[in-house]
Structure 1
Amino acid sequence: MTDGAGGYGPRGWDVPDEPASGLVRPYFRTGGRTRPARSLPIEMLVRTTDRGLRQERFARHEHASICRMCTSAQSMAEIAAYLRIPLGVARVLVADLIGHQFVAAGEAGNTPDGRPSVELMQRVLQGLHGI
């Protein structure tokens, strides 16, 4: 039994005939991959390389977004928050870009005693609040 807007699922739940246009499963964005090719800690800073700046076409629009936002160094947390995707998905996408040398990842700025700087911790916290 349907009402024209969609079918009925288990226990009378209304199930639309077509999925919402904005709904994309996270694993779809990574081609089904759930683990990055390399370790990328949440505080790892990512910056677009000259090659990434010159690249005009990317395999996924998220790759282009990451390259645009990382013209100044961004942490993995900030990338995930900006794209509104899970951190694991952001890690896979960034690892793809590193493999093509479109971005470079490096250790975050540390204080002389080896601890992360206050500025870095504030940026990571802001990124986490955005998730």
Structure 2
Amino acid sequence: MRAESPAPRHEWLDADAGPVVRPYTLTGGRVRPTVRLDLVAFVLANRGADPFAHPQLHPEHRRLVELTRRPVSVAELAAELDLAVGVVRVLVGDLLARGLVTVHEPRRGAFLPDDNILKAVVSGLRAL
């Protein structure tokens, strides 16, 4: 019985992780999104959005559109795709520019605690 020779190995393949692609290749070297996106901003695919109508999009773009068929935060998208938040922000910016998604930012100041609470916390920390 003859053993088959293993398939050629490439440096860019990892048995555990699959293909390893550097984040800057997904963003075309861009490090900043075209729009500012908060971590807790919700992204929602536009009704009838078809990422396959845009052949220049990466598979990650298409996956983002599929994930955003329901509102999902930017942080959750990064976790789901196992990508850095900065990369996801750039990719979502691409989708926004093409009209495939909308972003719903949280209201500014909606989550800020009262000044008296902050002063009490600082006083408590100093007492330690």
- Shorter chain as denominator, the TM-score bin is 0.5 to 0.7
Query: Match for residue 82 of structure 2?
Result: 84
Q: 1:72 aligns with which of 54, 70, 73?
A: 70
Q: Hey, what's the Cα distance between the residues in 2 that align with 1:51 and 1:39?
A: 25
Q: Hey, what's the Cα distance between the residues in 2 that align with 1:36 and 1:107?
A: 15
Runs of 4+ in 1 over 6 A off after TM superposition: none
Gaps of 5+ in 1: 1-16, 117-131
Q: 2:20 aligns with which of 23, 29, 32?
A: 23
Query: Match for residue 120 of structure 1?
Result: none
- TM-score for the superposition, normalised by structure 2: 0.68
Contact 2:51 2:61 in 1 (8 A): no
Q: Does 1:48 align with 2:45?
A: yes
Q: Does 1:115 align with 2:111?
A: yes
Letter in 2 for 1:63: H
Letter in 2 for 1:32: G
Query: Match for residue 3 of structure 1?
Result: none
Seq. identity, %: 31
Q: Hey, what's the Cα distance between the residues in 1 that align with 2:70 and 2:92?
A: 15
- Deviations 1:73-122, CA, capped at 9 Å, x for gaps: 000000100000000000000000000010000124x6xx8229xxxxxx
Q: Hey, what's the Cα distance between the residues in 1 that align with 2:71 and 2:32?
A: 23
Gaps of 5+ in 2: 1-8, 14-18, 113-128
Q: Hey, what's the Cα distance between the residues in 2 that align with 1:38 and 1:101?
A: 13
- Give the aligned CA root-mean-square deviation in angstroms: 2.0
Q: Hey, what's the Cα distance between the residues in 2 that align with 1:82 and 1:55?
A: 18
